[in-house]
Amino acid sequence: MSEAVPGTTGSDGTPKRTLHPRGHTPTNRRRVLSLMAGASATTALAMGGARTAGAATPSRRGRTRVVLLGTAGGPTMFDPGRAGVSTAVIHEDRVYLVDLGMGSFLRLGQAGLAPSGQGTLLSNVRGIFFTHLHSDHMVDWPSLYATAPFNSFGRTHGPIRVFGPGERAELPRVFPPGAPEPPVVNPGDPAPGTSAMTSYLRQAFAADLNDRERDSATPDPSSLFDLRDIDLTGVWAVDAAGKPPRLSAPLPVWEDGDVRVSATLVDHHPTAPAFAYRFDTPDGSVTVSGDTTLTPNLIDLAQGTDYLVHEVIDRRYVERLVAQLPPDRANALREHLLASHTTIEQVGRDVAEAAGARNLVLTHLVPANNDVSRWRLARKGYSGRLIVGADLMSLPVRA
């Protein structure tokens, strides 16, 4: 097994080491309180069926919370009432964002996570964490990046730290085996990581940035972010198959005061690297899966977590979808959807139960317009509290 001991690298390539997060030992008292905390949101869903944006009222109570900014999975637009996947973890006045799917930047304001006043939307954001670089997880990053100078008034704690996958040296394998290889996009740099991708954004917005800097003394957005590719040196050299090794320990990412962030490699092959993140606070913990099939690394990371915010896909939908496609496309799509995601039948029984998660929160719903009764089937084999995610749902984490 690989030993996970690296830190991260900054945008200048300098290694940055962080402390390993302390383990979180669950207590019976915390379990009871956590289950009670999620009960009201779950009951509301059970009474009224699937809810979308506006149906869940954001709450400002609680020192530590998890807020679902967007709960729709995939690049297909199924339900305009659900934004693309994004999760906020809040401790006191600090906001940490995991992924930025379509519409999630707008949801940040709707969730009431910014101080009152114009241009303060990003004032409390301390960190942004990308699980992987599929478009449905980071398509709002360009809009947030380009407009950051106008939405960061009142910041007093330096640049926003941005963590995510680094560049990939080897492109994903072509499926099915023997299929013709498609032309490579941007062959000079076909798999840029988080930092390099952002440098391309700066080039793409050059006309806007140059105009505003020269005419209005607007800061360059690059000065507002501290970009850090998660360093996998000595852990994994990502290959074409993209199936990660079993790790002996989580990857330390960042310690921001009394909030500790750790990560692990998850299996979303052939897309790689792909990460899950865990946030440990004085009040409890939140683990966000990103996109993944069953992965022992994730179960290790999420042991005893108060909230496991996990993706889910409906196998019945997949079979209905691929039945409409020609065989060459159908087989490739079925392989990706079922081999690199977690089904309704698996997520509670095989992941949340194995991790001892007190609350399982379903997000990245595929399809996003599914009837809520389908998602409730994830209760089978799981002894904790199941919560079907809705946009702007706020869940308190209590010690």
Mean pLDDT of 1-6: 35
Mean pLDDT of 175-192: 94
Residue 78 has pLDDT above 60, yes or no: yes
Residue 177 has pLDDT above 70, yes or no: yes
Give the CATH number for residue 150: 3.60.15.10
Whether 351 is in a domain gets the answer yes
Whether 11 is in a domain gets the answer no
Whether 120 is in a domain gets the answer yes
pLDDT digits (tens, 9 = 90+) for 80-122: 999 999 999 999 999 999 999 999 999 999 999 999 889 999 9
pLDDT digits (tens, 9 = 90+) for 223-267: 999 999 999 999 999 999 999 999 999 999 999 999 999 999 999
Question: Binning pLDDT at 50, 70 and 90, where does residue 222 land?
Answer: very high
Question: Binning pLDDT at 50, 70 and 90, where does residue 16 land?
Answer: very low
What is the DSSP code (8-state) at residue 289?
-
Whether 184 is in a domain gets the answer no
pTM of the model: 0.85
Residue 1 has pLDDT above 90, yes or no: no
Q: Are 108 and 114 in contact (CB under 8 A)?
A: yes
Q: Are 4 and 249 in contact (CB under 8 A)?
A: yes
Whether 16 is in a domain gets the answer no
* Per-residue tokens: 225: 């972010």
Could you give the CA distance from residue 318 to residue 306 in angstroms, rounded to a whole number? 30
Task: Order the strands of the 160-164 sheet from edge to edge.
Answer: 15-16, 8-10, 225-230, 160-164, 125-129, 94-98, 86-91, 64-70, 394-397
Q: Are 82 and 366 in contact (CB under 8 A)?
A: no
Q: What is the pLDDT of residue 398?
A: 86
pLDDT digits (tens, 9 = 90+) for 131-171: 999 999 999 999 999 999 999 998 888 999 999 999 999 99
pLDDT digits (tens, 9 = 90+) for 357-369: 999 999 999 999 9
What domain range is 266 assigned to? 28-176+191-397
The CA-CA-CA angle for residues 311, 243, 86, to 5°, reads 25
Could you give the CA distance from residue 8 to residue 253 in angstroms, rounded to a whole number? 7
pLDDT digits (tens, 9 = 90+) for 278-330: 999 999 999 999 999 999 999 999 999 999 999 999 999 999 999 999 988 89
Please tell me the total count of domains within the chain. Answer: 1
Q: What is the pLDDT of residue 62?
A: 67
The whole-chain average pLDDT of the chain stands at: 87
Residue 36 has pLDDT above 90, yes or no: no
Count of CB atoms situated within 10 Å of the CB of 329? 11
Amino acid at 136: D
Count of CB atoms situated within 10 Å of the CB of 81? 17
Which has the closest alpha carbon to 279: 305, 304, 246?
305
Which has the closest alpha carbon to 99: 137, 135, 68?
137
Could you give the CA distance from residue 18 to residue 8 in angstroms, rounded to a whole number? 8
Whether 182 is in a domain gets the answer no
